[in-house]
Amino acid sequence: TAVTPAHVQEYIGISKDYNVFELQKALATRDLPKVTRIGAHFASNIRRNPLIVTISSLYSYFSKVLMLHSLKGSPDAEMLKALELRSDWFLKEYKLAATHYTPAQTARVISLLKEYDLRSKGVDNDTTNTGEAELMKEMFWKILH
């Protein structure tokens, strides 16, 4: 029997369409429908997609986007080294994100990630009934708007 994406998702829990890398791409291009779909999937499977892990991945991603802004005009080889990337393919994705987010917008996203990290831990969470799933959806919405 051939291994299909459905097998991988069923037995390992990794979806081809609903994973943090697809979320990063969707946020990078400000693709609201795709972010909404991925967010709903993450929220419905919060144990497989914990908010803290998602925030950590997005923090790493947007930190590199912010760093890329400061390297504007540098040769690609220098950017690859500074961002600790292994291929031009990844660099293209970060460059695409940098075209959709100004340095100030990128810094704002990083600030939002910090806020939601703290809120997920109960700090300054004004609504005690707000669970991880709701915080996650709210965070994605604020990143895009």
Q: Where do the domains of the chain lie?
A: 5-144
CB of 26 within 8 A of CB of 34?
Answer: yes
Q: How far apart are CA 122 and CA 128, in angstroms?
A: 8
Q: How far apart are CA 8 and CA 26, in angstroms?
A: 22
Q: What is the pLDDT of residue 60?
A: 97
In the block, which residue shows the tokens 């890398």? 21
Whole-prediction pTM value?
0.85
pLDDT exceeds 70 at position 62: yes
Q: What is the pLDDT of residue 123?
A: 85
Q: How far apart are CA 17 and CA 123, in angstroms?
A: 32
pLDDT tens across 77-89, in order? 999 999 999 999 9
The CATH number of 5-144, from 1.20.272.10, 2.30.22.10, 3.60.10.10, 3.30.70.600, is 1.20.272.10
Measured over the CA atoms of residue 32, residue 37, residue 40 and residue 42, the dihedral's sign is negative
Q: What is the pLDDT of residue 10?
A: 58
C-beta atoms surrounding 31 within 10 Å: 16
